[in-house]
Amino acid sequence: MTKMSETIGNRIRTKIIASGMSQREFAKRIGTTEVSISRYIKGTRTPKASVAAKMAEVFGCSANYLLGIDETETDSEKDFYKAMYLIARSSAEWNNKQKSEIINVLFQLDKSGRMRNHEKRIHDKSVEV
């Protein structure tokens, strides 16, 4: 068993336990067998990309996290764009102060500087909030 397969197995096991599902329930939700789930957990088999994507969707984390590629459970950039979309949909109902407050909160949440790059792109394109 390789280090990567140990990571995958541990992460899948941890997520199943945290979700309160049985291996059988989880297998059903992602369209595979309980035997396959057991093999992923033991590290004797690695899930295909399509299966890892379904697992990630059920668990609410990134496939890269499950596969041991990323150490964080979510994709910050994806979350950023999702938040921007939700804000854009709702912003017509907000006044300028509320819009400014939500933007400030978003920029404070990401300490990696990733959002500051998005802020620059937004200003470069002269997009109004």
The two structure tokens encoding residue 77:
């950039």
Q: Is residue 119 part of a domain?
A: yes
| Residue 11 shares a structural domain with residue 29 | yes
* pLDDT score at 4: 58
Q: Cα separations (Å) of 61 from 5, 24, 80, 108, 124?
A: 18, 20, 14, 22, 32
13 within 8 A of 23, measured Cβ to Cβ: no
Q: Is residue 36 part of a domain?
A: yes
Query: Which phi-psi region, left, alpha or beta, contains residue 48 (left: φ > 0; alpha: ψ -120 to 50)?
Result: beta
| Residue 85 shares a structural domain with residue 51 | no
| Residue 9 shares a structural domain with residue 58 | yes
CATH code for the domain in which residue 13 is found: 1.10.260.40
* pLDDT score at 76: 62
54 within 8 A of 60, measured Cβ to Cβ: no
- Interior CA angle at 99 toward 98 and 103, to 5°? 115
* pLDDT score at 62: 84
Number of domains in the chain: 2
| Residue 58 shares a structural domain with residue 85 | no
* pLDDT score at 58: 92
| Residue 17 shares a structural domain with residue 58 | yes
- Dihedral over Cα of 99, 105, 109, 114: its sign: positive
Q: Which domain holds residue 62?
A: 3-66
* pLDDT score at 117: 45
Taking only Cα atoms into account, the Rg of the chain, rounded to an integer number of angstroms, comes to: 19
In the predicted model, residues of the chain with pLDDT beneath 70 are 1-6, 73-81, 106-129
